Structure 1
């Protein structure tokens, strides 16, 4: 059996590392850091293709010193699954989508979109923010997978979370920016939310809710911090009236043809996992 077949088999095999309290813990904390979600061999099978696609599709050509805070945070390439069949195998992995469904406590999840986020050596902070600021969705039943493609020690700027902050309404009107960094950093401290910063071993992954506030430090390492993300939606979620220009753009880009109040069933939003029931 080839390495590719072994990797594909793993992607379709349920993950057995979730504790019985996983859904309750996720509801309480707003995130979870899981070990051994994928094997190092599977990561090694897909990382070179993802990296080559990021290099090919990246449109950021300014030197780091000339970029704003957001531009220094990472190189960002979206919906790689539409560009490369091998990347699609990973993005559509039933194992990963099954974890998302179980954590959300829903019977099925569909794809919103994927993002490769590469923090270059000497890349800056990722400011405090909540992803769902950008998403025109009718509920908070959405979750982001954050999958590092290398071991990620603290010096490389792993993703960090404010425990329990998904229930905190302040700051939900802030895009990722210097302003969100200052205001949310202060709010997290004032509210005594624990700032959970941990290294990621190869094969570890995190899942966080759309309103969980999170951030990342700079990359002080000598190699890029290579990360693949996938955003999953409750399969029954509906599009909501956009509340800012970014949500208007997202409605057209990631849920094309979906009207406000409709379930996003476009070709870009396939169901990636549904339980047997």
Structure 2
């Protein structure tokens, strides 16, 4: 695994809100990730998320909605699959996120497998952090290509620098590709940047960066594994997102999100604070 981050990559990330890293995984590591994610997704069946070992049927099952035809989404696989847990809770990845974001440390927010089926719909422009239970300009996600991601099968697209203009207003992913532009009309004139990746490459993007993905116009699958990271010390904003009812009840707005069972510290510059 190539986990070294250069100053040039940090600068590019800070300026553009994203960076693509080729040759992140070796061919052998890629097969390990594919096998682990495939096994974990199969084990979930139609369940998108298991909350503390129970299934929240109301919020987290496939229901045949438009959203389910964008991609197969399975969250927090690390919590119920040991192989995925070993991969996601790797302090080397946490260090990469910490260095790019220029923070002191990172907790895992949630992982998610994002799998575009053959002929899957496009993923509309959106930004991530407004959906989560904390707000931070330094929230960051890794996106790992498990298959070649191309302009034909649903690679990512970014609006470079948009993370410096967006707010925490939540614009849901919808059927209209450009719904986000109603909130940010200046984005209409921006040039999008395609980010095709070979299998085994990865990208990091800021939680406030506008991004999307094209439709899968092929008969093949486009698999990706992602993980969102929460800067150490982040506080609860009142949004439930992937938290259980019990966890939400235990937090007041402004409380530090510090439950290591839900959000382990995957890396910190003070090694004594790492909990994985």
Q: Check whether TM > 0.5.
A: yes
The answer to whether the 8 Å contact 1:129/1:214 transfers is yes
Partner residue of 1:263?
A: 256
Partner residue of 1:6?
A: none
Residue 50, structure 1, aligned to residue 31, structure 2: no
Q: Secondary structure at the match of 2:94?
A: helix
Q: Which of 251, 268, 272 lines up with 1:274 in the alignment?
A: 268
Shift of 1:35: 1.2
Gaps of 5+ in 1: 1-9, 61-65
Gaps of 5+ in 2: 48-62, 272-276
Q: What is the TM-score normalised by the length of structure 1?
A: 0.83
Q: Distance in 2 between matches of 1:264 and 1:51?
A: 30
Shift of 1:70: 1.7
The answer to whether the 8 Å contact 2:104/2:268 transfers is yes
* Deviations, residues 165-213 of structure 1 (Å, cap 9, x unaligned): 112237933111125x233357577553331113101221111111111
Shift of 1:136: 2.7
The answer to whether the 8 Å contact 1:159/1:215 transfers is yes
The answer to whether the 8 Å contact 2:158/2:195 transfers is no
Q: Distance in 2 between matches of 1:147 and 1:270?
A: 20
Shift of 1:259: 3.0
Higher helix share: 1
Residue 133, structure 1, aligned to residue 130, structure 2: yes
Q: Secondary structure at the match of 2:172?
A: coil
* Deviations, residues 234-265 of structure 1 (Å, cap 9, x unaligned): 1121112x3xxxx2344547965433212211
1:147-226 matches, cutoff 5 A = 147-169=144-166, 172-179=169-176, 181-184=177-180, 187=184, 190=187, 192-226=189-223
Q: Distance in 1 between matches of 2:256 and 2:230?
A: 10
Partner residue of 1:3?
A: none
The answer to whether the 8 Å contact 2:132/2:241 transfers is no
The answer to whether the 8 Å contact 2:124/2:212 transfers is yes
* Deviations, residues 54-88 of structure 1 (Å, cap 9, x unaligned): 1231317xxxxx94432211011111111111111
RMSD: 2.5
Q: Residues 174 and 28 (structure 1 numbering): CA distance in 2 closer, same or farther, change over 3 Å? A: same
Partner residue of 1:63?
A: none
Partner residue of 2:23?
A: 36
Q: What is the TM-score normalised by the length of structure 2?
A: 0.83
Q: Secondary structure at the match of 2:31?
A: helix
The answer to whether the 8 Å contact 1:69/1:178 transfers is yes
Q: Secondary structure at the match of 1:248?
A: coil
Shift of 1:89: 1.0
Q: Distance in 1 between matches of 2:95 and 2:69?
A: 33
The answer to whether the 8 Å contact 1:126/1:216 transfers is yes
Q: Which of 231, 243, 248 lines up with 2:240 in the alignment?
A: 248
Q: Which of 3, 27, 49 lines up with 1:15 in the alignment?
A: 3
Q: Which moved more, 1:86-95 or 1:164-173?
A: 164-173
Runs of 4+ in 1 over 4 A off after TM superposition: 185-191, 253-256
